[in-house]
C-alpha cells in the first residue's frame, strides 16, 4: 500500500521541540504534538534537514519503520566551537580570550589597575565571576570585575571599557592636585520609617518610642527647607502671613504642616502670599520636591507622660534615631530621671539627705557660736580701745607736767651752778688774800730782823 505524505508536514513540530538546544532527540510521531499514525500499517521513513548556527546543513535520516523512533539532532561540536569562548579579567589588569579547549586566542597585554574596591569585585559583577562566556550579554551599566575589584570591564554608552579607580589625594595632606578629580562620599542609607516618631532617651542611652495615644499636635513648627509637597491639602489660604498660616494650622487637629509661598520672591513670584495646609499624608509620607519658591514646615509634637518625664520635644534626625538601641515603649506609668531610681536607691538618698541635714545643723551651730564669739571680741576690743584712749590722754597730761618739772629742774640746776661758781670765786679770793697776808707778815718779820742787827 502506498501513502503519500506532504514534505515538511512535521517541520513546525520539530522546530518547536529542538530549536535552541545543543542536542535533542525528536520522537517521530510522538514529539511536538503528534498523537496518531496518519497511515497505520504503512511503514514510513523520516528525513529532516537542520543547521547548527551558520554552519553547513546536516541531515537526520531514519529508514522505515521510523514511527516512534528517536531522531537525534546534534550540534554539540558546533556549539563547543562557538560557546566555548571565554573572556577573562585578572587582577593584573590583563584580558584574555580562550576557546573551549582553554587555548589563549587573544590577550590585551594591559596592566593598569587601581584601588581594590569590593563593589567592583568579581563577586559583585552581573554573573558573580571574573569572566564572560559566549552568548552572555552585558547591558549598559553591567560589568565583570577582577577578583579583587582593582579593575573591571563595564558596558557604557560608548562601548565596552576597561576601568579602574585611583586616588589623587596626597597621603600627607589628604588633598588632590588633580583638577579632574572629584570628591566622593559614602553616605549610608537611612530608613525613613522613623521620621515623625517621638521617643524618650533614657539615662542608659536607649530610646523609648511614644505610642500615638501619648502624642498630640504642638503649636511650633520646623522649617524643612525650600521644598514643595504636592497634594494632601486641607485648604488653601491667600493674602496671609507666615504667623497667620501657623495659627490657621494650629486651629485644626488634622493639620500636620503647610507649604508657604512668599509674594514676589523666587523663580516664579506671585502677587500675594499663599499657604497650603497639609494633612497627615504630607512629608515624610508625601513627596518632597526642591523649589526655591516655597518653604515646607512641619508641625511639632506634644507628649503626655508621667510627671517625672519632660514634656519638651526637640527635633532630631532619622540617622540619630537609628544609632540608639531600642528600649520598651513609653507608657503613662514609665518613670524618668530621678523617678526611675529604685526603692533602695531612694532609701540611700534619704539617708544621705539626713546625714547632710545633720552636718548642716552642726555647721549652723558652729557658725552661731562663732558669731557670738565675734560679738564678744568686738565688745572687748571696743572697751580696750576706750581704755587705751584714756591711758593715752593720761600719759599726755603726765608728759606735759613732766616737761614742766624738767624745765624747773633745769632752772634750779642753773641756779645751783651759779651759786657754786660764786662760792668757788669767793673761796679763791679768801685764799688769795690769805696768801697775801701771809706774805706781808713774813716780809715784816724779815724787815724786823734786819733792823735789830744793825
Report the Cα 159 to chain-centroid distance in Å: 42
- Cβ neighbours, 10 Å, residue 2: 5
Beta-bridge partner residues of 237: 275
Q: Residues 222-270: pLDDT tens digits?
A: 998 999 988 899 999 998 999 999 999 999 999 999 999 987 765 566 6
Q: Residues 73-108: pLDDT tens digits?
A: 888 777 776 667 889 999 999 999 998 778 888 999
Residue 189 has pLDDT above 70, yes or no: no
> Which domains are assigned to the chain?
11-81 (no CATH), 84-163 (2.90.10), 199-332 (3.50.4.10)
Say what the pLDDT of residue 122 is.
Answer: 94
Q: What is the mean pLDDT of the chain?
A: 82
Q: Residues 291-328: pLDDT tens digits?
A: 888 999 999 999 998 888 888 888 887 778 888 899 99
Sequence-ordered list of residues with C-beta below 8 angstroms from that of 427, at least 6 positions apart, any chain = none
Say what the pLDDT of residue 79 is.
Answer: 73
- Split at pLDDT 50, 70, 90, the class of 453 is very low
- Split at pLDDT 50, 70, 90, the class of 181 is low
Lowest mean pLDDT among 186-190, 368-372, 403-407: 186-190
Q: pTM (2 decimals)?
A: 0.38
Mean pLDDT of 204-216: 90
Lowest mean pLDDT among 30-39, 106-115, 187-196: 30-39
Residue 211 has pLDDT above 90, yes or no: yes
CA distance 131 to 117: 18
Residue 452 has pLDDT above 50, yes or no: no
Q: Residues 333-368: pLDDT tens digits?
A: 888 876 776 656 777 888 888 899 889 889 888 888
CA distance 104 to 99: 7
Amino acid at each position: 500500500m502506498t501513502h503519500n505524505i506532504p514534505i515538511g508536514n512535521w517541520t513546525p513540530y520539530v522546530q518547536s521541540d529542538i530549536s535552541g538546544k545543543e542536542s535533542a532527540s525528536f520522537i517521530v510521531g510522538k514529539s511536538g504534538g503528534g498523537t496518531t499514525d496518519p497511515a497505520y500499517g504503512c511503514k514510513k521513513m523520516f528525513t529532516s534537514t537542520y543547521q547548527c548556527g551558520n554552519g553547513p546543513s546536516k541531515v537526520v535520516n531514519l529508514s522505515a519503520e521510523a514511527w516512534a523512533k528517536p531522531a537525534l539532532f546534534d550540534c554539540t561540536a558546533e556549539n563547543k566551537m562557538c560557546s566555548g569562548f571565554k573572556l577573562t579579567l585578572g587582577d593584573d589588569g590583563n584580558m584574555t580570550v580562550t576557546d573551549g579547549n582553554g587555548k589563549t586566542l587573544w590577550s590585551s597585554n594591559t596592566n593598569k589597575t587601581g584601588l581594590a574596591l569590593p563593589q567592583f569585585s568579581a563577586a559583585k559583577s552581573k554573573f558573580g565571576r571574573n569572566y564572560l562566556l559566549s552568548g552572555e550579554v552585558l547591558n549598559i551599566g553591567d560589568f565583570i570585575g577582577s577578583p579583587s575589584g582593582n579593575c573591571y570591564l563595564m558596558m557604557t554608552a560608548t562601548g565596552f571599557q576597561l576601568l579602574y579607580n585611583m586616588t589623587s589625594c596626597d597621603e600627607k595632606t589628604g588633598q588632590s592636585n588633580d583638577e579632574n578629580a572629584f570628591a566622593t562620599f559614602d553616605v549610608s542609607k537611612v530608613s525613613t520609617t522613623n521620621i515623625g516618631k517621638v521617643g524618650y532617651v533614657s539615662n542608659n542611652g536607649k530610646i523609648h518610642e511614644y505610642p500615638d495615644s501619648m502624642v498630640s499636635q504642638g503649636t511650633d513648627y520646623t522649617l524643612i527647607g525650600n521644598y514643595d509637597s504636592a497634594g494632601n491639602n486641607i485648604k488653601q489660604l491667600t493674602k496671609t502671613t507666615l504667623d497667620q498660616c501657623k495659627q490657621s494650622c494650629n486651629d485644626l487637629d488634622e493639620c500636620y504642616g503647610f507649604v508657604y509661598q512668599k509674594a514676589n520672591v523666587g523663580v516664579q513670584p506671585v502677587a500675594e502670599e499663599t499657604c497650603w495646609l497639609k494633612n497627615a499624608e504630607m512629608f515624610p509620607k508625601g513627596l518632597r520636591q526642591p523649589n526655591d519658591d516655597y518653604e515646607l514646615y512641619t508641625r511639632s509634637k506634644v507628649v503626655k507622660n508621667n510627671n517625672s518625664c519632660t514634656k519638651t520635644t526637640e527635633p532630631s534626625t532619622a540617622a540619630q534615631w537609628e544609632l540608639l538601641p531600642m528600649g520598651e515603649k513609653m507608657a503613662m506609668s514609665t518613670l524618668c530621671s530621678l523617678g526611675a531610681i529604685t526603692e533602695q536607691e531612694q532609701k540611700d538618698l534619704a539617708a544621705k539627705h539626713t546625714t547632710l541635714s545633720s552636718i548642716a545643723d552642726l555647721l549652723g551651730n558652729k557658725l552661731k557660736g562663732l558669731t557670738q564669739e565675734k560679738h564678744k571680741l568686738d565688745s572687748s576690743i571696743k572697751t580696750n580701745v576706750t581704755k587705751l584712749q584714756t591711758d593715752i590722754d593720761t600719759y599726755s597730761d603726765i608728759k606735759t607736767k613732766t616737761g614742766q618739772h624738767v624745765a624747773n629742774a633745769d632752772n634750779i640746776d642753773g641756779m645751783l651752778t651759779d651759786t657754786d661758781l660764786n662760792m668757788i670765786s669767793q673761796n679763791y679770793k679768801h685764799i688769795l688774800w690769805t696768801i697775801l697776808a701771809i706774805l706781808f707778815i713774813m716780809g715784816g718779820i724779815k724787815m724786823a730782823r734786819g733792823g735789830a742787827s744793825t
